[in-house]
A and B are shown apart, each in its own frame.
Chain A
Amino acid sequence: MSTSAVEARTDLALLAHLYRRAGFGATREQLDRLAARDYEDTVEFLLNPTPEAGVPDDEIARYMGGEAPHAYTATWLFRMINSECQLQEKMALFWHHVFATGLAKNEHALAASSQIEMFRRNGLSDMRTILLDLSHDPAMIFWLDNNENHNGEPNENYGRELLELFSLGVGNYTEIDIKNAARAFTGWTFTQPTPLYPHGYYPTEFRFDPEDHDNGEKTFLGKTGNLDGGDIIDIIVEQPSCARFISRHLYNFFVADEPQVPTWNDLPPQDPELVDAMSKAFLDSGGEIRAVLRVMFNSDSFKDARFKKVKSPTELVVGVLKMVGNHDNFRPGLAKYAESTTVVMGQKLLDPPTVEGWHTGKEWIDGGNLTERVNFAVGEIGDGSSPGIQRIVDRLLEGDSLSSPESFVDSILNAIGPIEVEEPTRAALVKFATDSEGDDDRSRVVRMLRLTVATPEYQFA
């Protein structure tokens, strides 16, 4: 489809921005299609995933099966690359960042992947559902020792992190609240799965043990009664601090890098107006994540916040794979990207380093993983034979993009984004365009593409 065939109702650069944030990027062909719709309609499309727009589950099961962590992460990457429901996959990744649960402790790969499936299912619903499902999730229960949280011998780990890292943030509750929250979750455990050998992982599910539950009176955030875990979550979700904490998490993940979470009690948000508007939507809707995201994606702050976030390794890798186009149908070889490529860049899916999740923003970058990022992107893009790169090259060679070094550079930046670069970067690219004049056109385009993905700007979403 060519751009002239449809009337563009949305600016391509804005759409590209939306898809880098609400998803994992979009190819130029996808953007051209989407441009025919109003921006708000595209946001609604993303907010309301349907099974028909996703990758069919029966095909995933047919071609990609296996229960090992690498088999699951391969299927997840496949969905990130190919699902039209980009935000569904991005929200699963968001909750995986926030409710970070790691295989380092939880060895049960099926429980780990079931948790991600839960995020794919409920990630756009409401906070009460999300926290209740989370508190019922065996991988989380084991990760934060709630299976060791007994009547009369409370283990505070889950109660503490639920408040500190998952819902309210430091400073919005007392140590007494933690103790009482922990008591409310006593007896929330899971069924014992049979061991891995000899016949593989078996599912485990939430189990409530009434004998092991503390039925005593508890006071939590000012409310008193025989509270259980569900009551605790009801109270949490009503707190303005919860609305604010989750809104800020969403802002940090989707709009612009904030400082690391533990500082949030001391440092105000960089964009208090937007975080306030998101918090209001949270409270007005009873904790609907969709409502908060709608306000966020449609805000001017979001639309203007281009290239304000360092891409996570997963975002970088999936974005490049989308552009290259080798995995737009089922094909072996995806597992290595989650098991090795992103890992050497500092992110192993299903295995965040601690319950705090991955440190984001500039902490994604050090010398070793910058080298890995650059070498990966240059290697993938520089293979000019891949279908996605062929499409980009063909498109560029159709017009008069290469008529001057400046227009060559602008066309390349347009073709892979559109993306914006700072002046020194642009000058360096123009130098290359000038130096390579007279070389074979296809080779020049491929070389320019791989240089562009090596720029510091390409590390930003």
Chain B
Amino acid sequence: MARPYGLLRAGFPYLKTLGMRRLTNFPVGIALGPEGTGRMFILCRQEGAALVRKYSFDDEDGGTFGEVGDEEGKLQWPVSIIADSEENVYISDEALDRISSFDSDGEFLACFGEPGSGEGQFNRPAGMAFDADENIYIVDSMNHRVQKFAKDGQFILGWGSFGDGDAQFDMPWGITVDELGDVYVADWRNDRIQKFSADGEFVMKFGTSGSADGEFNRPTDVAVDLDGDIYVCDRGNNRVQLFNQEARYVEKFLGAATLSKIGREYMMTNASPNRIRDMAVLEPQKFLRQPRSIAVDAAGHLFITDTGSYRVQVYQKEAIHLEPHQFAPPMRSVTLHQE
């Protein structure tokens, strides 16, 4: 499954909204079930609350698991959720400095990690990602590094230190592994994305502080699709930005939310909120508010946890793969030729 030679970017329309307040409260992470099932796990965290909501692509509530506490099997400040091929989920917890796993029914399986700065120890673990062999890369935020573990928690390798040089980090947050095995890290306080080989060799970096296109204000997450396109959750700017595989800025997603199915059902039984809604300007309802994480699937869906608005916004990528004969060779300079 090689990457396409070129892409005809036909569009990236808004598809649908999932969830509402009370069901998907402050969604901070999302893990997708196997391709085609429509199943997903939405991690919700607020002061005093931490749980996983099982949800579907059709906006159906599948119940919750997870409760607040320090004991094994409980959560305090969960940051990131990922699902393996058997739909067991792994959750990082930055208050308890450990990774907990649960089966898809919410039964606690195991946990690993403890506070500290040695190998296999954590100081506020944050983003996580599986590679193709289901090893786990974990951002160890306040140790300013990335650690790689086997699924059972066995330490494999790690890299990174505090700073703003190459392969240095300042409170990194999100992470992803692309289909080629390369690793991307949202280097939060350095306002940039860094790319590494599977074993931590620095490959490239992009982004700087700001709010213009291609600039970041505390990026929280990064995802890469099968075309190699890189999506960055630019939380402080309330947007997601799309870059191609060479890190050239392509476009941004500010949010285009409609009312979710479940949100419509709620409004149908509530006369006063309908009236109040009718009195309000609706424009701001579309936009992302402090989006915290993103996920992409093979069908071209882009899922954004729209944390501040208690929902998930879903976009649909429409891009056609181009063969070499459909896509002229690269040009060195810009041009005004039109044909």
Binding site for B on A (CB under 8 A): 58, 61-68, 70-71, 74, 191-200, 202-203, 331-332, 334-336
* B77–A199 touching, CB < 8 Å: no
A195 to B281, CA, bound (A): 11
The CA-CA distance from A193 to B285 in the complex, in Å, is: 10
Tell me which residues across on chain A come within 8 A of B270, comparing CB atoms.
197
Subset of 5 A-B contacts with CB under 8 Å: A62-B188, A196-B273, A197-B20, A198-B20, A199-B310
Which B residues touch A191, using CB under 8 A? Answer: 280-281
- Measured between beta carbons, the chain B residues less than 8 angstroms from A71 are 46-48
Instruction: Name B289's closest neighbour in chain A (CB-CB).
Output: A200
Distance between B303 CB and nearest chain A CB, rounded to angstroms: 17
Inter-subunit contact A202/B284 (CB<8 Å): yes
Determine if B282 is an interface residue (Cβ-Cβ < 8 Å).
yes
Residues in B with CB closer than 8 Å to A199 are: 20-21, 257, 263, 285, 309-311
Question: How far does the Cβ of B183 sit from chain A's closest Cβ, in whole Å?
Answer: 22
The distance in angstroms between the C-alpha atoms of A66 and B310, with both chains bound, is 10
Contact status B48-A197, CB under 8 Å: no
Q: Point out the residues of chain B lying under 8 angstroms from A200, CB to CB.
A: 21, 289, 308-310
Say yes or no: B21 contacts A197, CB within 8 Å: yes
CA distance A74 to B236 in the complex (A): 21
Kindly state whether residue B244 has any CB partner on chain A within 8 Å.
no
Asked if B157 is an interface residue, CB under 8 A from chain A, the answer is: no
Do B281 and A198 touch (CB < 8 A)? no
Contact of B47 with A58 in the complex, beta carbons under 8 Å: no
Task: Check A192 against B280 for contact (C-beta < 8 Å).
Answer: yes
Residue B189 interfacial (CB < 8 Å) = yes
Nearest A residue to B22 via CB reads A197
Distance (Å) between the CB of A225 and the closest chain B CB?
Answer: 34
Q: Nearest Cβ in chain B — how far from A241, in angstroms?
A: 40
Whether B48 and A335, one on each chain, are in contact in the complex, defined by CB atoms closer than 8 angstroms, is yes
Q: Residues of B with Cβ closer than 8 Å to A?
A: 20-22, 26, 46-48, 68, 76-77, 94-95, 171, 173, 188-189, 218, 236, 257, 259-260, 262-263, 266-267, 270, 272-273, 276-277, 279-282, 284-285, 289-290, 307-311
User: Closest residue of chain A to B188, judged by CB?
Assistant: A62
- Chain B residue numbers with a CB within 8 Å of A202 are 280, 284-285
Query: Separation in Å of the B190 CB from the closest CB of chain A?
Result: 12
Q: Quick check: B48 and A67 within 8 Å, CB to CB?
A: no
A74: chain B residues at CB < 8 Å are 47
Quick check: A63 and B20 within 8 Å, CB to CB? no
| Interchain nearest-CB distance for B159 vs A (Å) | 23
Which residues of the partner chain B approach A61 to less than 8 Å between Cβ atoms?
A: 218, 236, 290
In the bound complex, do residue B48 and residue A70 qualify as a contact, i.e. CB atoms below 8 Å apart? Answer: yes
Q: B197: shortest Cβ distance to chain A, in Å?
A: 28
By beta carbon, the residue of chain A nearest B273 is A195
Closest approach, in angstroms, between the C-beta of A410 and any C-beta of chain B?
A: 38
Expressed in whole angstroms, the Cα–Cα distance for A331 and B123 within the complex equals 12
A369 to B306 Cα, complex, angstroms: 42
Q: Judge whether A194 and B21 touch: CB under 8 Å.
A: no
Q: Residues of B contacting A65 with CB < 8 Å?
A: 26, 46-47, 290, 307
Instruction: Check A193–B280 contact: CB distance below 8 A.
Output: yes
Chain B residues, CB < 8 A from A66: 26, 46-47
Q: Which residues in A have their C-beta under 8 angstroms from that of B284?
A: 194, 202-203
A254 to B68, CA, bound (A): 39
For the complex, what is the distance from the CA of A331 to the CA of B266, rounded to whole Å? Answer: 35
Q: A193 to B283: give the CA distance in the assembly, Å.
A: 11
| Cα-based distance from A205 to B112 in the complex (angstroms) | 47
**Which chain A residue has the least Cβ–Cβ distance from B141?**
A62
The contact of B266 among A63, A64, A67, A198, by CB within 8 Å, is: A198
Is the beta-carbon distance between A198 and B47 smaller than 8 angstroms?
A: no
* A residues less than 8 Å from B280 (CB atoms): 191-195, 202
Q: Are A332 and B259 in contact (CB under 8 A)?
A: no
Selected contact of A331 from candidates B95, B262, B308, CB within 8 Å: B95
CB-nearest residue of chain A relative to B270? A197
Give the distance to chain B from A342, nearest Cβ to Cβ, in Å: 16
Q: Which residues of B contact A68 (CB under 8 A)?
A: 46-47
Residue of B77, B189, B262, B279 near A332 (CB, 8 A) is B77
A67-B308, A74-B47 given as contacts; is B276 within 8 A of A195 (CB)?
yes
Give A134 Cβ to nearest chain B Cβ, in Å: 24
B277 touches which of A70, A194, A334 (Cβ 8 Å)? A194
| List of B residues within 8 angstroms of A63 by Cβ | 77, 94
Q: Which chain B residue shows the least CB distance to A196?
A: B21
CB of A70 to closest CB in B, whole Å: 6
A334-B76 Cα distance, complex, nearest whole Å: 13
B273 neighbours in A (Cβ, 8 Å): 195-197
Extra inter-chain contacts (5) besides given A63-B94, A202-B284, A335-B48, CB under 8 Å? A63-B77, A71-B47, A193-B280, A196-B21, A197-B21
- What are the residues of chain A within 8 A of B22 when measuring CB–CB? 197
Instruction: State A88–B276 Cα separation when bound (angstroms).
Output: 36
**Chain A residues with CB below 8 A from B260, complex form:** 198
Contact B310 A198 (CB under 8 A): yes
Determine whether the beta carbon of B262 is less than 8 Å from that of A58: no
Contact A335 B285 (CB under 8 A): no
A58 contact set on B, CB distance < 8 A: 189, 218, 236
Alpha-carbon separation in the docked complex, A70 to B257 (Å): 27
Closest to B217 in A: A58
Question: Which residues of the other chain, B, contact A70 by a CB distance below 8 angstroms?
Answer: 47-48
The distance from the CB of A289 to the nearest CB of chain B, in whole angstroms, is 31
Q: Are A192 and B26 in contact (CB under 8 A)?
A: no
CB distance from A105 to the nearest CB of B (A): 16
Report Cα–Cα, A71/B48, bound state, in Å: 8
Which of chain A's residues have a CB closer than 8 A to the CB of B263?
197-199
The answer for the CA separation of A200 and B20 in the assembled complex, in Å, is: 8
User: What A residues does B310 contact at CB under 8 A?
Assistant: 198-200
A332: chain B residues at CB < 8 Å are 47-48, 68, 76-77, 95
Chain A residues, CB < 8 A from B279: 192
In the assembled complex, the Cα of A70 lies from the Cα of B188 at a distance in Å of 26
Q: Which residue of B lies closest to A202 (CB)?
A: B284
